[in-house]
Structure 1
Amino acid sequence: MTTSSKPAVAGLGFSALFAAAIGAIVAQIGMVSSAQGIGIGGWGFVGALFIAFAISMANAFAYAEMSLMLPSQGSLSSFAEAAIGNFPAIMLVFAGYVTPAIFGLPAELILADTILTQALGLPLPAHFWPVAIVVLFAALNILGTDVFARVQTVLSFVVLLFLGVVGIVALSGSASAAPDPAAGLAQLSHEITVFGLVALAFWVFAGIEFVTPLVTEARDARRDLPRAMFLGLTALLVVQLLFVLGAASLLPREKLATAATPHLDVASAVFGPGGRVFVAVLALLASASLINTVLAAVPRMLAGMADNGQVFPLLKYRHPKFGTPVVAILFVAALPLVGLFWSGGSVEAILPLMIAASVAWLMAYIMAQVSLMVLRRRHPELPRPFKVPGYPLVPLLAIAGMVFVIANSSPAPEMTRAIATYTGVVLLVFAVVGAVWVKAVMKKGLFEPVKPHLG
């Protein structure tokens, strides 16, 4: 058959999938984690970035294979469900997407609160801005109004470009502060920390799989979906390296490690005071886009699981007019507020919150890698347009690497207790509730796989 005889195919192209892949990553929290990481670890953080990149690429391989193998199953939990049962599937979603909403989003909201409070200086109650932002976007999502739908693609590329430009200008010696870049980079050789910072570096890449639910809407998913994730991760690595090295060439490590908004300090050093205003606006837009993305995606995951009987039936309730999962949106919207008040909403809580979210996400990725290997063994008959290269060595190395990172996730002894408490308490609650639900309500075995279907 010639290509001219094929009908025109509509759908999402590579650029849209690429933007979706990086859209949940290019937010303030990634800028802060990388700036604080280079301040804490020096050249060691660069090593941590490469380790996190390698693990993230292995995870992207796994999600690419499974999403193209089971393209009709929109929920990310469907891979674990088909491989190792309902309980791991429930835990994958709650560890990988609900728990980070409790920890990661509060860190983003604290940053937004800091910027708005500094910029406006209004005598408002504590936590007014974080609560207002969450309430606003919860209401917009319930009404079915995705205010960022048309600008999220542009915003993702703008943030990516900003990080790269800041680094290039700083390293070229053309920054407003005009220091000697070589002298600034010399400070990175002292007190190097690598493994204790991989969990923090991992936040720069976590969430690339948010693009996989779009597999059925892609024009050429077999070609473009894997490329979107792989090139997205590569682009993130390049611009983050430029950004952190540029930041370190301008500001002392101590300032980067302890500043509440180090990305704004870097922008001021590069572009002068006027640059800080531009970056503050850009950062707030990126935060709003992240909140909006999570409130659009995670509630729909939960509603789909409710349809399958995996979570409380109330979560599948849809608005009679707009068709949006109202209860699930309200539930997810409440999560970052719980984390915000639990942590006290202090800027000192940002770093342990980010690491706790990374640890939970890593646990979910471990379950995804296990699911990949089980599906290979149990269902060799399923079509696999993309296969993980270096199988089974790559998944095994990824699992070993992630277990090691979790065990060494605290960059400082004084943070260990907070990180362990944040992740341990929440995941334990989810595990107990999930196990009881599967056994008592679904009346199924915890690890009883569900037969996969293709359509």
Structure 2
Amino acid sequence: MTKQLKRRLGLWAAVATGVGIVVSSSALVSLGQGFGAAGPGFILAMGVALFLNLCVAFSFAELSSIVPRAGGINHFTLPALGPFMGMVAVISGYVLVTIFAGSAEAGIAGIVFRDVFAPGINPMVISLAFVILLGIVNVLGVEVYSTIQIILTTLLIASTVILGIIGLTGIGATGTPVPTTLEFNPSGWGIFSFTALAIWLFVGVEFVTPMAEEIKKPKIYVPLAMILSLVIILLADALFGFAAIKYAPLQLLGESASPHVEAAGAILGKTGQTWMGIVTILATVSTLNTLICAIARMIYSMGIEGQMPKVFGKTNRYGSPWVAVALMCALFVVFLLVGLTNSASIVTFILAGCFCWLVTYFIAHLNVVILRYKYPKVERTFKSPLGFTFQIIGMIGILYVMFNMSPDAALRTEIYKYSLLFLGLTVIYAALWVKFVMKKGIFQTTPLEELIETTSTTPRDSTHELKEDMSI
């Protein structure tokens, strides 16, 4: 019999999941290049990105309060738009993007580890070791995952904040500030073309929702964890970003493949470079750890619902969806060995991934609107405020960003090429699977009552316990 997921995670573990997926090595690159290209005014693009992600957090929090399931966006979409759109949202917005971005993250970790700590070691060996080790961590269950994630996230945020404070105050800094007076926003209204890059600094806080079946008091902790994650990320990134442009020339930051390391070196010399090397590795390991954990649970839920082979719905004696974990690690290993992702393509894949992620966010906002009309009386322990205000603003903002992914026309073309490739593969697979394997209509929805009453942590006939649990 398939074992079921257990509620073992507290609030800080949920926050560590939200922060840990967002503060990645690619996000640190985006932060440095954003401030380098736009100057201090990049904080305006960050503010817009934060607001759009706050809209996303409100929508995901409401959806999770209705259906606190491990499937996340998939289960939220089933009663609103059906299995086809649920599969498109998960596979294009998460699984395919994760394969490229995650393997690139692992590759960066190997390169940084070699450059900072072991010049004679093949970075591929280090990258593969990280993936295998984190696969083992996640097979051993969510408690082991959460312990590692809390440690990684705490060290990561603390290091970023401390480096930012040293740079801004000059206390303990060994470098010399750049002797220039920067105009706050030289880009003018063009600053908002950097919003797509800024969104990558916050994208992913909704990874808390696939953990809903394992978080204590999910109706309270899920929305709170997402909001706290966004605030923590903004403060840490702003501190380090302004410290970076105080000590490093904008051109250096804008053109460097590792601007965060350049900034740390400008502030603290060799010590800063070594420190930021450690931070980069922590960021990558934290991101990979969360990706493996959360995406595996999305795949697990799709196996339970028949949207993927049933084998992915299996758990082991530790309550871990081990087959789905093994799949994610295997995909990372294959893409690392083939070399389809590398530092030269990381920015393109970041923004292509951001495009697909935005499609998923648009679907999430649409789900909220549809479910409010279809099920106006269903219990919502968290409800997005001001009617549909945040959903409408969120959808308009998403469309604007999707059509303005980069000020560089050539880069935009590359972004759209990979984005459409991701989406096209997903649409073909999802349509064929729903039609010929599930034998359902493309937009045939699942009754919300069925999803609520068959939460995988609760036996089908334990209705009383379910209602009691949902009232927490």
- Confirm or deny a common fold (TM above 0.5): yes
Kept in 1, the 8 Å contact 2:8–2:143? The answer is: no
1:91 aligns with 2:88: yes
The reply on whether 1:164 has 2:186 as its aligned counterpart is: no
Q: Deviations over 1:414-443 (max 9, x none)?
A: 312321222211220111110111111111
Amino acid at match of 1:248: I
Taking the aligned partners of 2:331 and 2:407, their CA distance within structure 1 comes to 26
- Deviation, 1:367, is 0.6
Equivalent residues of 1:188, 1:248 under 8 A apart:
no
Structure 2 distance, partners of 1:29, 1:190, is 25
Could you tell me which of 177, 200, 203 is aligned with 2:175?
177
Q: Residue 360 and residue 224 in structure 1: after superposition, are their counterparts in 2 closer, same or farther (change >3 A)?
A: same
Once the two structures are aligned, what percentage of the paired residues are identical?
30
Corresponding position of 1:19 = 16
Tell me if the contact between 1:18 and 1:232 (Cα under 8 Å) persists in the aligned partners.
Answer: yes
SS in 1 for 2:22: coil
Spell out, residue by residue over 1:365-392, the C-alpha distance to the aligned partner (whole angstroms, 9 max, x if none).
1111111110000011210111111221
Corresponding residue of 1:65: 62
- Distance in 2 (CA, whole Å) between partners of 1:439 and 1:274 is 58
* Contact 1:100–1:357 under 8 Å retained in 2: yes
Partner of 2:469: none
Aligned length, in residue pairs: 442
Amino acid at match of 1:383: E
User: In the TM superposition, what is the alpha-carbon distance from 1:339 to its structure 2 partner?
Assistant: 5.3
Correspondence for 1:100 = 97
Q: Mapping of 1:21-420 within 5 angstroms?
A: 21-72=18-69, 74-119=71-116, 120-122=118-120, 124=122, 127-142=124-139, 148-174=145-171, 175-179=173-177, 183-184=179-180, 186=182, 189-191=185-187, 193-316=190-313, 324-337=320-333, 344-420=340-416
Q: 2:446 aligns with which of 433, 447, 450?
A: 450
State the TM-score, normalized to the length of structure 2. Answer: 0.86
Q: Secondary structure at the match of 2:292?
A: helix
Give CA deviations for 1:237-257 in whole Å, capped at 9, x if unaligned.
122112111111111112112
List per-residue Cα deviations over 1:121-151 (Å, max 9, x = no partner): 2263x74433343234335544659765323
- Cα distance in 2 for residues equivalent to 1:383 and 1:346: 46
Please tell me the residue identity of whatever aligns with 2:174: S
CA offsets 1:2-37 (integer angstroms, 9 cap, x no match): xxxxxxxx9644333322321211222221111111
> Which residue pairs with 1:6 in the alignment?
none
How many Å separate the matches in 2 of 1:419 and 1:339?
A: 19
For the residues of structure 2 that align with 1:58 and 1:43, how far apart are their CA atoms? Answer: 25
The alpha carbon displacement at 1:77 in A equals 0.9
Aligned residue type for 1:434: A
Name the aligned partner's letter for residue 349 of structure 1: S
* 3-state SS, counterpart of residue 83 of structure 1: coil
Letter in 1 for 2:381: P
After TM superposition, the structure 1 stretch with the greater mean CA deviation from structure 2, 134-143 or 370-379, is 134-143
Residues 40 and 182 in structure 2, CA contact (< 8 A), matched pair in contact too: no
Moved more, 289-298 or 212-221: 212-221
Aligned 8 A contact 1:96 1:361 in 2? yes
CA contact (8 A) 1:179 1:250 kept: yes
The secondary structure found in structure 2 opposite 1:179 is coil
Q: Secondary structure at the match of 1:272?
A: helix
Q: Partners of 1:96 and 1:360 in 2: how far apart?
A: 5
Instruction: Structure 1 unaligned segments of length 5 or more: list them.
Output: 1-9
Flag the 1:114–1:237 CA change in 2: closer, same or farther, 3 A: same
The alpha carbon displacement at 1:64 in A equals: 0.9
